[in-house]
Chains A and B, each alone.
Chain A
Amino acid sequence: MEPIIQVKDVSFRYEGEDESAAPVLDHVSLEIEAGSFVVILGHNGSGKSTLAKHLNGILVPDEGEVLVDGMDTKDDDKLLDIRRTVGMVFQNPDNQMVASVVEDDVAFAPENLGVPPDEIRARVDEALKLVGMYEFRDRAPHLLSGGQKQRVAIAGVIAMQPRCIVLDEPTAMLDPGGRREVIETVTRLCRENGITVVLITHHMSEAVGADKVFVMSAGHVISEGTPEAVFSKVEALRKEGLTVPDTVALSWELRGAGLDVPLAALTPADCAAGIAKALQK
Chain B
Amino acid sequence: MPVIKTESLSHVYGAGGPFESVALDNVNIEIPQGAFVGIIGHTGSGKSTFVQHLNGLLAPTSGRVLLDGEDINADKKRRHDTRFKVGLVFQYPEYQLFEETVARDIAFGPRNMKLSKDEVSARVREAAFFCGVSEDLFERSPLELSGGQKRRVAIAGVIAMRPDILVLDEPTAGLDPAGCAGILKNISDYRAATGATVVLVSHSMEDVARIAERLIVFDEGRVVMDGSPAEVFSHTAQLRAIGLDIPAAADVAEKLRALGVPVPDGCYTVEQLRDAVLALRKEGGTC
Q: Show the binding face of A for B, using Cβ within 8 Å.
A: 43-45, 91, 145-146, 169, 172-173, 175-178, 202, 204-205, 241-243, 245-247, 249-250, 253-254, 257-259, 268-269, 271-273, 275-276, 279, 281
Contacts and interface: CB of A to CB of B under 8 A. Distances in A.
A276 B179 CA distance: 34
Nearest to B206: A246
- The 10 tightest CB contacts between A and B, nearest first, are A272-B255, A246-B248, A268-B251, A243-B177, A241-B178, A202-B176, A43-B176, A276-B259, A172-B174, A253-B274
B177 A275 contact: no
Q: Determine the main DSSP class of B at the interface with A.
A: helix
Nearest to B257: A272
Contacts of B271: 253
A279 B43 contact: no
A176 B270 contact: no
27 contacts: A43-B178, A43-B179, A44-B147, A44-B175, A44-B176, A145-B43, A172-B174, A173-B174, A175-B203, A176-B42, A202-B177, A245-B248, A246-B248, A246-B270, A250-B248, A250-B273, A254-B278, A258-B287, A259-B277, A269-B255, A272-B252, A272-B256, A272-B258, A272-B259, A275-B256, A275-B277, A281-B286
A172 B247 CA distance: 18
Given A146-B43, A177-B243, A279-B284, A249 B174 contact: no
Nearest to A237: B177
Given A268-B251, A268-B252, A176 B259 contact: no
A78 B56 CA distance: 57
A279 B260 CA distance: 11
Nearest to A180: B245
A176 B208 CA distance: 14
Contacts of A249: 270
A21 to B, nearest CB: 15
B117 interface: no
Interface in B91-127: none
A169 to B, nearest CB: 8
Interface residues of B, number: 41
A178 B243 CA distance: 10
B131 to A, nearest CB: 17
Contacts of A175: 42-43, 203
A260 to B, nearest CB: 10
B15 interface: no
B72 to A, nearest CB: 29
Contacts of B58: none
B233 to A, nearest CB: 13
A247 B284 contact: no
A246 B255 CA distance: 15
B281 interface: yes
B151 to A, nearest CB: 11
A273 B179 contact: no
Interface in B114-145: none
B261 interface: yes
Contacts of A146: 43
B286 A279 contact: yes
A253 B272 CA distance: 11
A273 B256 CA distance: 7
Contacts of A253: 270-271, 274
Contacts of A43: 176-179
Of B258, B281, B287, most buried by chain A (CB within 10 Å of CB) is B281
Given A268-B251, A272-B252, A178 B43 contact: yes
Given A257-B278, A259-B281, A279-B284, 19 more contacts: A43-B178, A44-B146, A91-B174, A146-B43, A175-B203, A176-B205, A176-B245, A205-B248, A241-B177, A242-B178, A246-B247, A247-B252, A249-B270, A254-B274, A272-B255, A275-B252, A275-B261, A279-B261, A279-B280
